[in-house]
Amino acid sequence: MPFRNQFAWLFGQNTTIAWVVFGLVCFTLLVAIALSWWRRRRGRPASDKAESNRLELGYVAALTGMVVFLVISSFAANGKESADPPVTYRVQVTGYQWCWRFSYLGTPLAVSGQCGGAQLPVLVLPAGQPVELQVTSSDVVHAFWVPYLRYKTYAYPGHVNKFTVTMPGTGKWIGRCAQLCGVYHYEMDFWLQVVSPAQFSQFLTNGGHLR
Ligand SMILES: [Cu+2]
Question: Does 165 lie in the same domain as 68?
Answer: no
Q: Which residues surround ligand 1, an ion (CB under 5 A)?
A: 142, 177, 181, 188
Q: In angstroms, what is the span from residue 92 Cα to ligand 1's centroid?
A: 16
Residue 208's pLDDT band (cuts 50, 70, 90): confident
Tell me the CA–centroid distance for residue 99 and ligand 1, in Å.
Answer: 7
Confidence (pTM): 0.76
Give how far the C-alpha of residue 181 lies from the chain's centroid of Cα atoms, to the nearest Å.
Answer: 19
Residue 82 — φ and ψ, nearest 5°?
A: -105, 95
- How many independent structural domains does the chain possess? 2
Domain range for 136: 89-205
The Cα-based distances of 25 to 19, 28, 32, 33, 187 in angstroms read 10, 5, 11, 12, 41
Quote the ligand 1 centre to 40 CA distance (angstroms): 59
The CA distance from 193 to 132, in Å, is 15
Separation of CA 95 and ligand 1 centre (Å)? 6
* Residue 167 lies inside a defined structural domain of this protein: yes
Distance, CA of 191 to CA of 183 (rounded, Å): 21
Cα 91 to averaged position of ligand 1 atoms, centre (Å): 18
CA–centroid distance, 192 to ligand 1, in Å, is 16
**Same domain as 48, residue 30:** yes
Residue 154 CA, ligand 1 centroid: distance in Å: 10
The residue-averaged pLDDT of 73-88 equals 79
Residue pair 155/102 in contact by the 8 Å Cβ criterion: no
Cis before 100? omega within 30: no
Quote the pLDDT of residue 136: 97
Higher-pLDDT residue of 149 and 157 is: 157
H-assigned helices in 80-187: none
Specify whether 69 is located in the same domain as 113: no
